Amino acid sequence: MAHAQPTTAKQPTFRRWFPHPLLSLTLTLIWLLLINSFSAGGLLVGLVLGIAIPRLTSSFWPDRPRMRNYGKLFNYLLLVMWDIVVANLQVALIILFRSNTSLHTRWVSVPLDLTNPEAITVFAGTITMTPGTVSCDLSADGRHLLVHCLDAPDIEASVRDMKQRYESRLLEIFP
Amino acid sequence: MELINEIIVSALIIIGASFALVGSWGMVKLPDLMSRLHAPTKATTVGVGGALVASMVYFLALNGTVSIHELLITLFLFLTAPITANFLAKAWLHTQRPVDLPRPDKRDWATFDTEHRDTP
């Protein structure tokens, strides 16, 4: 199946065994969370997974996502959680009390300042998870995001909102 | 104390369930596929979230153990739900090609762009 790349033999031992140290750590941690208890055996299996999976899939990860500012990432997660709750209430009110004809359902094109693919993915995912907006497509040059809004009376305001609230923060998190 | 815990857990379950119900009602009520796509994002966020937090509170109160499975479920939902929605939207764009799409400045949307398929 997946082969180790010929170049990996020349790399230092640590890089060869841990092409993505953070991914290895995450996989081990997720395995420990999955079995929901801590034991030496569980840790061992977790470590084996953490070493094997990044090595086998390293050819699918040509670049490492570079991130800085993990504190801001945490703040961002909290903000998104809060927004999800608020937006849920708004959409619930729309579904329950507004007639379909009074909804301004429309497509919105959001120009992107983000260039980092991982950052765009997080941005699109955030837009989808906050109810009321679903990100649908990216322009072929990666400069615009197509978003479907359930109720957007003012396109300009919606775009400004998304860019200021999420994109500006993501720009600080991803270099 | 027991009573308070039970009230908290029931309240969370009921909140989650009502959001799931409203989400399902949205699926019935909203007029077209793209609007309906907004309904399940509700059910997977606060709907499931309420049940998950209730489960964590329950296990914390019942045997004093912290159950972390719920966090994993949240993580997997947050990873998969946007991708599912994106697939549905893209499939719909392929079959319908709506006329009221805004056009980006230079290249068309990736679904329709035929020049060459490079991902950014």
Q: How many CB atoms lie within 10 A of CB A81?
A: 14
Of B42, B86, B119, the CB nearest to A131: B42
Give the residue on A whose Cα is nearest the Cα of B98: A107
The whole-number pLDDT of residue A6 equals: 47
Smallest CA-to-CA distance from B88 within B22, B120, B46, B40 is with B40
Of A84, A128, A137, the CB nearest to B109: A137
Helix (H) or strand (E) holding A73: helix A70-97
For residue B64, tell me if it sits in a domain.
yes
Of A96, A131, A140, the CB nearest to B108: A140
Cβ neighbours of A91 in B, within 8 Å: 26, 38, 42
Smallest CA-to-CA distance from A173 within A58, A42, A45, A73 is with A73
Range of lowest pLDDT (A28-32, A74-78, B73-77, B115-119):
B115-119
Cα-based distances in Å from A110 to A92, A164, B37, B115: 25, 12, 19, 22
Helix (H) or strand (E) holding A53: helix A40-56
For residue B30, tell me if it sits in a domain.
yes
- Interchain contact B25–A (C-beta under 8 A): yes
Query: Nearest 5°: phi and psi at A146?
Result: -90, 120
Query: How many contacts does A have with B, using Cβ atoms within 8 A?
Result: 136
Cβ neighbours of A107 in B, within 8 Å: 98, 100-102
Q: What is the pLDDT of residues B61-91, one digit of tens each?
A: 877 777 778 888 888 888 888 888 888 888 8
Tokens of B102: 């805004």
Rounded Cα distance, B69 and B66, in Å: 9
Rounded Cα distance, B16 and B42, in Å: 10
The shortest C-alpha distance from A120 to chain B (Å) reads 10
Cβ neighbours of A125 in B, within 8 Å: 78, 82
Rounded Cα distance, A118 and A61, in Å: 12
Interface residues on A facing B, Cβ-Cβ cutoff 8 A: 30, 33-34, 36, 84-85, 88, 91-92, 95-96, 100, 103, 105-109, 115, 117, 120, 124-125, 128-144, 146, 148, 150
Mean pLDDT taken over chain A: 82
Residue B5 exposed, middle or buried by CB count within 10 Å (0-12, 13-18, 19+) = middle
- DSSP for B37-94, please give it: THHHHHIIIIIHHHHHHHHHHHHHHHHSPPP-HHHHHHHHHHHHHHHHHHHHHHHHHH
Task: Answer yes or no: are the C-beta atoms of A158 and A108 closer than 8 Å.
Answer: yes
For residue B73, tell me if it sits in a domain.
yes
Q: What is the pLDDT of residues A45-102, one digit of tens each?
A: 888 988 888 888 877 777 666 667 778 888 988 998 898 888 888 888 888 888 888 8
For residue B115, tell me if it sits in a domain.
no
Rounded Cα distance, A114 and A99, in Å: 36
SS3 (DSSP) at A150 = coil
Rounded Cα distance, B42 and B17, in Å: 11
A157: amino acid identity, one letter: A
Cross-strand bridge partners of residue A148: A107, A134
Give the residue on B whose Cα is nearest the Cα of A114: B120
Beta-carbon separation of B105 and A129 below 8 A: no
Beta-carbon separation of B119 and A92 below 8 A: no
Cβ neighbours of B81 in A, within 8 Å: 128-129
User: Considering its fold, how many domains does chain B have in total?
Assistant: 1
Cβ neighbours of B29 in A, within 8 Å: 95, 100
The whole-number pLDDT of residue A11 equals: 60
Of A34, A36, A109, the CB nearest to B102: A109
For residue B32, tell me if it sits in a domain.
yes
Query: Which residues constitute the domain of residue B77?
Result: 2-96
Helix (H) or strand (E) holding A131: none
Quickly state the pLDDT bin for B42 (edges 50, 70, 90).
Answer: low
The mean pLDDT of A157-170, rounded to a whole number, is 87
Tokens of B47: 């709907």
